[in-house]
A and B are shown apart, each in its own frame.
Chain A
Amino acid sequence: MNIISRNIFKNRNIILLIVFFIIFIFFSFFTNDFFTYYNIVNLTKYGVEIGLLALAETLIIISGNGGIDLSIGSILSLSAMTIGVLSSKMGLNILISALIGIAVATLAGSFNGFLVSLIKIPPLLVTLSTMYIYDSLALLISMDKYGNAMPISTFPNSYFFVGQYEIFNIPIQLLIIFIPVVIILHLLLSKTVYGKQLYAIGSNDKVARFSGLPNNKVRILSYTIGGLLAGLAALTMTSRIGSARPDLGANLNLRAITIAVLGGTNIVGGEGTIIGTVIAILLITVLNNGLQLSGVNPIWQDGILGMILIASAIVNFVMYKKLNYSN
């Protein structure tokens, strides 16, 4: 069973990778501005932000018991506005503002985790309500004295280092944020006790508890790491576009969840890999960018994403069925 399932997961990643290359080569040949240095760098920078959110969803969905985070985009908005307000309205040092912004995101994530595991509210409900709450808080702190929500675009130049520069032609945020995060998370899930515990509570909460695992701690930590990743995404995004708006994270939830599910994360929990999600990030980012450059109306992006979400869920289901029959 273990060997078979491992093979299928490997196959799944290989299939995704092949699809990715086909799409990449297709757009390189048939879309004029796709395979250019400028576009690839741009695409990578965008991919980092949505990628961090997708990784957050991966961890949270793996933790099981209906794990899902609809508030991840709102956490990003709240964190981005915190950074903006602290540095430009309060005149705080930008480094400290950024750290506080990330801390706020981490706190928001752990609050979700707290409600989910200690009070045992289903994650869907928790994150639905905190989505409202974090969104409103982001709006609230962005209000000027007349009660209008104002975007903030007065960051010091040093802040743009993370989002707008490259070393050896490689975007900074890829180098110092995304790649380290991916490596750490991959090791965390595959090599540490915590990773084993996370998969265990995700696939069967009761069995894990009866075997003496600290279910609550493990689950809260997964939501907390999710919040931290959303904070990092807020940092890279505000730094790249040079402004903070209270609606930065709107509509990102669906994308993040779609990527995680496409990457092989099972929505009922207990299954999923960081590598799978990373490949799905590549695929979705290239697909969106290529379609846009080919002149497809951006309106179609979400619709296509929805179809991919359902299609990949069907594929997951069929594979799962095969797994059970072959067993």
Chain B
Amino acid sequence: MGKTTTSAAFAAGLALRGHKTVVIDFDVGLRNLDLVMGCERRVVFDFINVINGDATLNQALIRDKRIDSLYIFPTSQTRDKEALKREGVDWVMRELRNDFEYVICDSPAGIEHGALTALYHADAAIIVTNPEVSSVRDSDRIIGILAARSRRAEKRESPVEEHLLLTRYSPERVKKGEMLSVDDVKEILSLPLLGIIPESPTVLRASNTGIPVILDAESPAGRAYEDAVARFVGEQREMRFSLPERRSFLRGWFGRAAT
């Protein structure tokens, strides 16, 4: 669906704006954020090492080489999914809250321990959805769990702030009636829209090379993420990429070779 791509893009986007940001991988056993962020060869200690007291938090945090205020916290490759112990995670989250302006938790798929742990501490949640029936249904399920099982719900505080981010969107296919439109998804999930990320080959290029797509100045998806981050911090941005691109006569003929 694009959760890790989105986490990487948001973390980089917030850090580029000068906010001290850390992005945490919660997918125990299926570590991948390190690859997407391009720091897989610099992982020494991980989340579980810190929880078990084998390493300090500072030893495990990886500083991004491109953006000063950006840190990556890798997960462990252990097969024990329950290794993220409640008290340990609580302690790590408290420490990170004190040190960082933004703590991005990259949730694994599903509704198992890892996902529940990732959403538990959330103040805000970005629901990443594809315009596809299975993805929309799963999102609805996660929205229900956020409302019932998050820390804010348990402590009866104000609810988690929810945002919808629609990824892999193809306005051309929507126009032909082949894909759920952004308005359809908004209506079904009744969430405010944070952004539309167009389907783009540059997303694969970004993960291939380990560079968050938001750092690719040429990428439409990167620009869309930049808009979404701006909206997240309260700026007004026009919603781009919701309509098919108007192709000029020349681009129609030569555009293909250029992309």
- Do chains A and B stick together as partners? no
Q: Which residue numbers of A lie inside 8 Å of B, CB to CB?
A: none
Q: Which residue numbers of B lie inside 8 Å of A, CB to CB?
A: none
